[in-house]
């Protein structure tokens, strides 16, 4: 992982496999089926990095030959929270890595004219204060959706939140860092800029539409 100097909350997962798969994802010729598979695979690889400092506790284990000690992840189950819709594409891959994770949901869409988030659904485990959260959305554009989702999570009691996205715009990273400086952001790429209608350049287009084949 690397961290650009100008964005202290941001880490880039620049593993060669992630960079290769992200390039395929950007390609306009990539089909809906391939797009879904690639988001799934990249999310799993990113989750591996995002969880590298989870707390462990020692546990006893009996091998076929003798008793020894090993390690178990400490505390309540990790909770994945996709921002609907496009965040849903990141859930299954991470669940293959962490099958016992809980899954909350936050429904938000970006108003096409104002680019501000409109929320329509919120459900996370009741004991949010005791859990680690991975908030998931492939795109961090203006940062409005992620900032609103984190505000809602904090209102529900969450204190340990990480945001995982595939493509981030500098504008979104800055807005999120200003609103929630305590939330680390992991991205597969920091792209150049937003265009005049709030799309990331070079980006990968509309992640929700490409995932669900709605355009």
Whether residue 53 lies in the annotated active site: no
- What's the CA gap between 9 and 42, in Å, rounded? 20
**With contacts defined by CB under 6 A, how many residues of the chain interact with ligand PRP?**
22
- Is 182 one of the catalytic residues? no
List Cβ<8 Å contacts ≥24 apart for 116-122: 116/144, 117/144, 117/145, 117/147, 117/148, 117/149, 119/148, 119/152, 121/84, 122/152, 122/156
Question: Length of the chain in residues, anyone?
Answer: 215
Q: Choosing from 79, 110, 137, 191, which is the catalytic residue?
A: 110
Stretch that binds ligand PRP, among 7-15, 49-57, 120-128, 131-139 (CB under 6 A): 131-139
CB of 61 to ligand PRP, least distance (A): 41
190 binds, among ligand URA, ligand PRP, none (CB under 5 to 8 A by kind): none
By the criterion CB under 6 A, which residues form the site for ligand URA? Answer: 139, 141, 198-200, 203, 206-208
Task: Tell me if 82 sits within 8 A of 103, measured CB to CB.
Answer: yes
d(CA 161, CA 184): 7
**CA count, 13 A, side-chain hemisphere, 211:** 18
Give catalytic status of residue 62 as yes or no: no
Binding-site partner at residue 199 among ligand URA, ligand PRP, none, CB < 5 to 8 Å by type: ligand URA
Assess whether 110 carries a catalytic annotation.
yes
Using the minimum distance from each CB to ligand PRP, give the nearer residue, 55 or 197: 197
Applying CB under 6 A, among 115, 151, 154, 205 the residue interacting with ligand PRP is 115
Tokens describing residue 154: 């904090």
**Residues with catalytic roles:** 110, 114, 206, 209
């Amino acid at each position: 992982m690397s961290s650009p100097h100008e964005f202290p909350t941001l880490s880039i997962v620049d593993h060669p496999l992630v960079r290769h798969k992200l390039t395929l994802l950007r390609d306009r010729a990539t089909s809906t089926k391939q797009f879904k598979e690639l988001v799934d695979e990249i999310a799993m690889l990113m989750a591996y990095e995002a969880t590298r400092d989870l707390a462990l506790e020692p546990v006893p284990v009996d091998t076929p030959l003798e008793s020894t000690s090993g390690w178990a992840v400490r505390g309540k189950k990790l909770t994945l929270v996709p921002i609907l819709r496009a965040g849903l594409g990141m859930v299954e891959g991470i669940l293959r890595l962490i099958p016992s994770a809980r899954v909350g949901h936050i429904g938000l869409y970006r108003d096409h004219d104002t680019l501000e988030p409109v929320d329509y659904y919120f459900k996370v485990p009741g004991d949010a204060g005791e859990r680690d959260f991975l908030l998931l959305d492939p795109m961090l554009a203006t940062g409005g959706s992620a900032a609103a989702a984190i505000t809602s999570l904090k209102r529900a009691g969450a204190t340990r939140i990480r945001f995982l996205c595939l493509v981030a715009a500098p504008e979104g990273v800055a807005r999120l860092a200003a609103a929630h400086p305590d939330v680390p952001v992991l991205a597969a790429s920091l792209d150049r800029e937003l265009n005049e209608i709030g799309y990331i350049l070079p980006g990968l287009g509309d992640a929700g539409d490409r995932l669900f084949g709605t355009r």
